[in-house]
Amino acid sequence: MASNEGTSSNVKGTILSGMRPTGRLHLGNYLGALENWVNLQQDFRCIYSIVDIHALTTLESPSDVENIQPNIHEMALDWLAAGVDPEQSIVFIQSHVPEVMTLHTLLSMVTPLGWLMRVPTFKEKVRQMDETEESVNYGLVGYPVLQTADIIIYKADTVPVGQDQLPHLELAREIVRRFNHRFGDTFPEPQARLTEAPLILGLEGQQKMSKSLDNHIDLASTPEETAQRVLTAFTDPQRLRRSDPGRPEVCNVYSLHKLFSTEEDVATVHEECTTAQRGCVDCKRHLAGSVNAFLEPLRERRRVLEEKPDYVREILLEGGRKARSIAQETIGEVYEKMGLGLPV
């Protein structure tokens, strides 16, 4: 492996972002985050983490633990196939840097419980898990503190987020301000880099594309699997017969055409739909072809990587070594400022 750590004299700052290991990624993940990660590598020092410790906060059965390692591998394949470049970025597994858990503990000493309880996503997670606030595990309550540690242990100053994630980042900034006030300037306040990504609705056309809702299309699906999935997509609910003119503006299939088909094809789809020259099944078959054409280069790179599991594993191990080197320096500084002396 090359020793390049993804640094450059003209970088704008340090990016930190991560994903929980849920296995294969889907189109919504790609357009909502992964595509942006790849582009950010040109201008920033990027650190991308598969956050497996975070996955432990919502375990529901023993099989969830058994799936973590396979899910990590599948996610790494999708990242690398999409263009996350280990020669430009640090790519690693969160638990390979135990110092982040140390920093999490130390940050918890300066983080009021009330700050954590007011995070909007905490109450939503409790509801989804059918728990009460009194019965959920501490890890879920302290999730934002660990998330803060993930960011600042690498002195990251920029975090790509969507609008809905801003409360989490603002909490991280509050924790940083309190730490710096008590112990002296140590960490930069991470700034949001808002990700302008299209909302990708699932195949039912009602909710955001999500694996848990089974309304998604995996990046790594075969062309045949993709075509089968697309054929289940909902279209204009008022178009009951083939001879009825369609309304592309309310059809999710048409919105996906605008993302994956050529401009010329989109214009043709609109014309033939509104004049009832094209049926919904034909339209979905056309979309499946466009999606498959869009994904084929990524899928080919993924097929090559699947044949080299040791190479993928070494990328993650090397990324972990690089990330840990940075984290150990930070922990040394934190120990000294908090009166703990230097770590052994």
Which are the catalytic amino acids? Answer: 125, 208, 211
User: Which residues are bridge partners to 50 per DSSP?
Assistant: 19, 93
Q: What are the percentages of helix, strand and coil residues in the chain, rounded to 5? A: 55, 10, 35
**Pseudo-torsion of CA 64, 51, 221, 284, nearest 10°?**
110
Q: How far apart are CA 102 and CA 328, in angstroms?
A: 10
Please choose, from the candidates 245, 253, 268, the residue with its C-alpha nearest in 3D space to the C-alpha of residue 202: 253
Residue 11 is which amino acid?
V
For residues 234 and 30, give the distance between their C-alpha atoms in angstroms, rounded to a whole number: 22
DSSP for 89-105, written as a single string:
SEEEEGGG-THHHHHHH
Q: Looking at 139-198, which runs of residues are DSSP E strands?
A: 158-161, 191-194
DSSP class of residue 158 equals E
Question: Residue 165, Cβ neighbours under 10 Å: how many?
Answer: 16
